[in-house]
C-alpha cells in the first residue's frame, strides 16, 4: 500500500477511503519469457532498473517479472486507462522488507492517479507454475 507521497502506510488503514478502481491481470510466464528473448530491449521498456535488480536476485527472475508486469497492467485498469496512456516504467512495483508489494507512480501514471483522486493502493501479487497474477485496488 502506498500513499500519495509514495511512503508505505499502515495496513490498519485498509478500510479507510473510497474505491476508485480495481484492476486484475494474468500473465503467462513463458509468453513474457519468449517476448523478452525475441526483443531484449523490452526489458528496459517494461521494468525499472530497481525492478530488474530485485527480480534478478532469483534463480529464475521471469515469474517475478511476470507478476510485476501483471501489476502494471492491473494498475492501468484500476485507473481506467489503456496501455497507451502511460509508460510501463511509470508504474513501479516496490517490495517492503516484509515482502509486501506496493506501487510508486511517476510521470503520466502519477498525473492520471492524481486527476482521478487516488491517494493509496492495495496490491497483491502471486505466481505459480506457468502463470502470474496481480490485483490492484486504487483508493481515495
Residues 104-113, buried b or exposed e (16+ Cβ, 10 A)? Answer: bbeeebbebb
The pLDDT score that the predictor gives to residue 5 is: 38
Counted domains in the chain: 1
Is 22 inside a domain boundary? Answer: no
CA distances from 134 to 37, 41, 95, 108 (A): 23, 24, 14, 21
The pLDDT score that the predictor gives to residue 8 is: 39
Is 10 inside a domain boundary? Answer: no
- Residue 9's nearest CA partner among 72, 112, 94, 87 is 94
The parent domain of residue 92 ranges over 30-139
Is 6 inside a domain boundary? Answer: no
Q: How far apart are the first and last CA of the chain?
A: 12
The pLDDT score that the predictor gives to residue 4 is: 37
Whichever domain contains 102, its CATH number is 3.90.470.20
Q: For 41-62, what is each residue's pLDDT tens digit? A: 999 999 999 999 999 999 999 9
Q: What is the spatial distance between Cα 48 and Cα 3, in angstroms, rounded to a whole number? A: 20
Is 62 inside a domain boundary? Answer: yes
CA distances from 121 to 31, 90, 105, 110, 128 (A): 27, 15, 10, 12, 23
Low-confidence ranges of the chain (pLDDT < 50): 1-13
Is 45 inside a domain boundary? Answer: yes
Is 133 inside a domain boundary? Answer: yes
Is 23 inside a domain boundary? Answer: no
Q: Which residue is associated with the grid cell 525492478?
A: 51
The pLDDT score that the predictor gives to residue 16 is: 60
Amino acid at each position: 500500500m502506498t500513499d500519495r507521497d509514495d511512503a508505505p502506510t499502515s495496513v490498519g488503514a485498509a478500510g479507510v477511503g473510497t474505491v476508485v478502481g480495481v484492476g486484475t491481470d494474468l500473465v503467462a510466464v513463458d509468453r513474457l519469457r519468449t517476448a523478452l528473448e525475441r526483443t531484449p530491449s523490452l526489458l528496459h521498456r517494461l521494468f525499472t532498473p530497481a525492478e530488474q535488480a530485485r527480480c534478478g536476485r532469483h534463480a529464475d527472475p521471469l515469474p517475478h517479472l511476470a507478476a510485476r508486469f501483471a501489476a502494471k497492467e492491473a494498475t492501468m485498469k484500476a485507473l481506467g486507462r489503456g496501455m497507451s496512456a502511460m509508460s510501463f516504467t511509470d508504474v513501479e512495483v516496490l517490495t517492503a522488507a516484509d515482502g509486501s508489494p506496493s506501487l510508486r507512480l511517476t510521470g503520466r501514471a502519477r498525473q492520471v492517479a492524481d486527476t482521478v483522486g487516488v491517494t493509496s493502493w492495495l496490491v497483491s501479487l502471486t505466481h505459480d507454475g506457468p502463470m502470474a497474477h496481480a490485483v490492484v485496488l486504487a483508493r481515495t
